[in-house]
Structure 1
Amino acid sequence: MSTSFSTAHPLRIGVMGAGAVGCYFGALLARAGHAVTLIGRPAHVQAIADRGLRLQTSTEDVHIPLAASTEASSVRDADVVLLCVKSGDTEATAAQLKPHLQAGALVLTLQNGVDNDARARAVLGPAHPVAAAVVYVATAMAGPGHVQHFGRGELAIAPSPLSERVAREFTAAGIPTEVSDNVRGTLWAKLVMNCAYNALSALTQQPYGWLVQQPGTPEVIADLVAECLAVAEADGVVFPSDVHAGVRAIAQTMPGQRSSTAQDLARGKPSEIDHLNGYVVQRGAALGVSTPVNRTMWTLVRLRERAAQG
């Protein structure tokens, strides 16, 4: 096991919903000396108990010992909880966590979509600070207790009483992290990227680089983005950077990556499409903005999910 990072003031960190994102960040934090507990499915937990968490990247393939559990009560001593469940499970998971969180424990929402922090906050109440985090990382689970990393791995988090310390400790652990006053705008920027690519990748089961090379796809992506930006403008969203450049960069920096929605469909799992293109459609309807291309993508992915269920 590598010991290339160390921390003089370790945090106690719970990772609730330890899939690919949570396992990757949990592995780096555990290796840096923080007390990390992954909370996930039984097969996953058993594999980690037997062998440690296998972290496979372009430069290393290592097993990292850390704690793992199937129980939400394992967050009882945590200073920070990384909420990594699917967006549709936010309220139910927050309710599971609530009896076990110590006062002042920070819940960081590392999820797709733009409203998970507000939804978690509504359940947890004022005793438990919640901060949204924007995640840029390409990861996948290759099997129980085995996470693969393909690219990137930085975070932007909203202000909270613990955010500055979290940013320092995470950055020291190899997770570049900044505290941002405009996480809402950054979350929306990521939502636009997800809406541009996720459904197309899911419906074709192809990676981003392949998609943008196909005739007609760049125009569809442009239509999706234009609708998202119209809804965002009507909703008062201020973007922190050039969204069009960000959308183009996804296919350039992660050409071999399939979307999380594509991975969900391939495994027969429910996707988060309701919180991606579906959210844009619903918010657009509330604001009087038409979103026919996003509605088409949302509907097609939902049809694929229902057809798979039989």
Structure 2
Amino acid sequence: MRFVVLGAGAIGSVLGARLARAGHDVHLVGRRAHVDAIHAHGLRVRTPDGEDVVRLDAVTTIADLAARPIWSEVDAVVLCVKSQDTAGALRELARHAEPELPVLCAQNGVANEDTALRMFANVYGVLVACPTAYLEPGVVHAYSAPVTGVLDIGRYPHGRDAFAAQVSRVLSGAGYGSEVYADITAYKYGKLVTNLGNAVEALCGPNARGGNLDRLAMDEARTVLFSAGIHAEFAPVSPLVQVRPVGGERRPGGSSWQSLYRRTGGIETDYLNGEIVRLGRLHGVPTPVNAALQRAADRLAVSGGEPGSVSELELLRAVVDARAPGPGPRAAD
């Protein structure tokens, strides 16, 4: 198959390399420094078992790509940009590709598929469970072996079809675990709940993951989803994903932590914790925990602060203060 991977970060670059090694035609679209390094030295994929250098096509914009593949021969675009960049990426893609081109949203959050559906008729959600890292141009790390991760797929908003089954087989052949779900949206809401801790990890460091802030954010989210009538399905932790050190080093942090580390100036929190805040406002459910995490993560991203530089205790105190009820009405004189 011929794929365009739009967003060559950690997930997109590793996926592109795995598909290319499996014999598929892959074109990456990524940031300038990353693309230049791929041109000069190939894409270096480091795993627990060693390093592989993969030569594949990479460009910085879809406009640059337009002169290379014949769009009628592209089987699918895999969207791997962060959610805050989805709308712009899709608008640019729509200038070159026909609306029938399948778009696979291999992203966290639940807003991307709906955005894609405004411009493309065949949209697929991809549930991502792939421990990877991209910290320097031209180099990506994949921390699970022998299976790179899990990429489950389903047609958006619901349903199974032959194309989803075909892509699932291709992903399995490229070293991923992959199932086809009829209700991929429910599974992506479940993943959204678990991704709320991304902000905690980015702000307070990996040791804070799974702690009090993480649990409070998830409890708040479950209340919001119940009030909104949204069913969240939690995919079981796959035994296929076996996280191991790469070069003797553990994965430093997840995708939000990596955004702060690379000082990209943005972070995906508005579409993770911010999605819970949005739903809470729509359905009259207070969300002080997720709102505090959203604001703190955005401030740290804009200021270029170090990941893990915020005190977990101070942030927890701020959350507790925000959850406390305000003063009652004054008695009449």
Partner of 1:145: 138
CA distance in 2, matches of 1:304, 1:190: 24
Partner of 1:285: 281
Q: CA deviation at 1:46?
A: 2.1
> Structure 1 residues 66 and 262, CA, compared in 2 at 3 Å: closer, same or farther?
same
Residue 60 of structure 1 aligns with an amino acid whose one-letter code is: G
Matched residue SS, 1:281: helix
Does residue 302 in structure 1 map to residue 292 in structure 2?
Answer: no
Q: CA deviation at 1:86?
A: 1.3
* Number of residues of Structure 1 aligned to a counterpart in Structure 2: 282
Q: CA deviation at 1:303?
A: 2.2
**Which residues of 2 match residues 233-252 of structure 1 at below 5 A?**
233-241=226-234
Aligned residues of 1:78 and 1:101 also touching (Cα < 8 A): no
Q: CA deviation at 1:68?
A: 1.1
Q: CA deviation at 1:132?
A: 1.2
Whose radius of gyration is greater, 1 or 2?
2
**Which residues of 2 match residues 191-270 of structure 1 at below 5 A?**
191-195=192-196, 197-204=197-204, 206-207=205-206, 210-211=207-208, 218-241=211-234, 256-269=251-264, 270=266
CA distance in 2, matches of 1:186, 1:293: 23
Aligned residues of 1:134 and 1:156 also touching (Cα < 8 A): yes
Matched residue SS, 2:286: coil
Q: CA deviation at 1:266?
A: 2.3
TM-score scaled to structure 1, two decimals? 0.84
**Structure number with higher helix proportion:** 1
Aligned residues of 1:45 and 1:69 also touching (Cα < 8 A): yes
Tell me, which stretches of 5 or more residues in structure 1 are unaligned? 1-10
Residue 44 of structure 2 aligns with an amino acid whose one-letter code is: R
CA distance in 1, matches of 2:90, 2:23: 27
**Which residues of 2 match residues 170-209 of structure 1 at below 5 A?**
170-195=171-196, 197-204=197-204, 206-207=205-206
User: Which is further off, 29-38 or 164-173?
Assistant: 164-173
TM-score scaled to structure 2, two decimals? 0.78
Q: Give % identity.
A: 34
**Which residues of 2 match residues 94-173 of structure 1 at below 5 A?**
94-102=90-98, 104-122=100-118, 124-126=119-121, 129-151=122-144, 153-159=149-155, 160=161, 162-173=163-174
Q: CA deviation at 1:253?
A: 6.0
CA distance in 2, matches of 1:32, 1:253: 22
Does residue 41 in structure 1 map to residue 37 in structure 2?
Answer: no
Partner of 1:5: none
